[in-house]
Amino acid sequence: MDKQEVILSQDLEKSLTKALEKNRHDKLFILTDECTQQYCLPLTNNFCCLANAEHITIGATDTHKTIETLAHVWKQLGDKGGTRHSLMLNLGGGMVTDLGGFAASTFKRGIAYINIPTTLLAMVDASVGGKTGINFNGLKNEVGVFSPARSVLIDTDFLRTLDYENVASGYAEMLKHGLISNTTHWAELLDFDLHDIDYKLLQELVAKSVRIKEDIVGQDPLEHGIRKALNLGHTVGHAFESLALEEGRPHLHGYAVAWGMVCELYLSCIKTGFPQEKMRQTVRFIRDTYGTFAFDCKQYDRLYQFMTHDKKNSSGIINFTLLGEVGDIRINQSATRKEIEEMLDFYRETMG
């Protein structure tokens, strides 16, 4: 898989102009959702390099990350004259970069695309690393391909357009990067004030987070080994997210990942020796920042079933990414049904 060019831009128009010049095309398409069309697209209205672009807009939020939306994008690309030599520009959060990347990678057997992430979640996670896809059959990211963007242009000025919940959602992935990197970075993430944001400091933390993900993806682009470190919190988090969607009470992805990390840090304590005090500090931060996801023991079986569909599993065994310490990554860890139920008990008792 080709290495992505990831640019932390101080001048988005200049960076985008250079990226477009590197990727010659006969037609340029800009994909937005209804939110980024309203709040982010206007910030690019005066860019000369986008003067002749065709626009495609889809519905916002993860409920539109579907095969029907994907087919709509394919149809728009065809109806508006897209060819194998066209270029897609995905301007939006993780749903837009995931679905847009998948649409581009499959239209006419694949056209080039560039990501401009506009949410914190997309900047530090979804837009970097080459994973694309859609939700299908009630499961998160069930269908997709590894296909990296030609360029990822990160401009943290877009973060000023976000509400607290969307900043917090992206921050959960940054906290995960802290847990899999080193104690110093993990500690500075716990100290950051999300209620009174220092955007200059946040930009520096974003840069660190992107470098952590880039380093891991560079070592293992197709997720055969160490890239599974990036799944900390996701085995349980995706189960929470899928249950929430099924019950008509969807939650932002980062919130589900944060709640998933509570569970998987508990498993780390009992199975791989993660320090209890560091678990308590992290859980306290998550509870204070993200609240809780409500469920009862009657839903354990459904959550377990969702976990059995996780893409990291092999031979029917649920696989977790756990930690022995901050930065001490233990991939391909299993747990019994009884341990998983005890983990869910711990979550309900601790998170309230």
Catalytic-labelled residue, pool 173, 251, 271, 330: 173
Cα–Cα dist 29/245, whole Å: 30
Confirm whether 223 is a catalytic residue. yes
Catalytic-labelled residue, pool 64, 223, 228, 319: 223
Check: CB of residue 253 under 8 Å from CB of residue 122. Answer: no
DSSP H/E element including 6: strand 5-8
Angle, to 10 degrees, between the axis of helix 67-79 and the axis of helix 94-106?
A: 60
Confirm whether 234 is a catalytic residue. yes
Catalytic-labelled residue, pool 24, 109, 224, 298: 109
Confirm whether 341 is a catalytic residue. no
Cα–Cα dist 65/345, whole Å: 31
Catalytic-labelled residue, pool 231, 241, 251, 264: 231
Task: Using alpha carbons, list the distances in angstroms from residue 43 to 37, 40, 165, 337.
Answer: 10, 6, 22, 50
Cα–Cα dist 244/187, whole Å: 30
Q: Where are the beta strands (DSSP E) in 161-252?
A: none
Catalytic-labelled residue, pool 213, 228, 251, 278: 213
Confirm whether 25 is a catalytic residue. no
Confirm whether 185 is a catalytic residue. no
Within 10 angstroms of residue 88's Cβ, the number of other Cβ atoms is 28
Catalytic-labelled residue, pool 65, 140, 176, 234: 234
Amino acid, single-letter form, for residue 26: D
Print burial letters for 270-287: b (CB count within 10 Å at least 16), e (below 16): ebbebeeebbeebbebbb
Residue 243 CA to chain centroid, in angstroms?
Answer: 18
Please tell me whether residue 138 adopts helix, strand or coil conformation. coil
- The DSSP string of 197-217 is --HHHHHHHHHHHHHHHHHHH
Q: Which residue is it, tokens 């991939």?
A: 331
Catalytic-labelled residue, pool 227, 271, 278, 330: 227
Confirm whether 72 is a catalytic residue. no
Confirm whether 253 is a catalytic residue. yes
Dihedral sign, CA of 112, 116, 118, 124? positive
Confirm whether 325 is a catalytic residue. no
Catalytic-labelled residue, pool 131, 176, 278, 330: 131
Task: Using alpha carbons, list the distances in angstroms from residue 240 to 105, 128, 258, 295, 347.
Answer: 29, 23, 10, 9, 12
Catalytic-labelled residue, pool 64, 65, 72, 238: 238
Confirm whether 22 is a catalytic residue. no
Confirm whether 213 is a catalytic residue. yes
Active site residue ranges:
109, 131, 173, 213, 223, 227, 231, 234, 238, 253
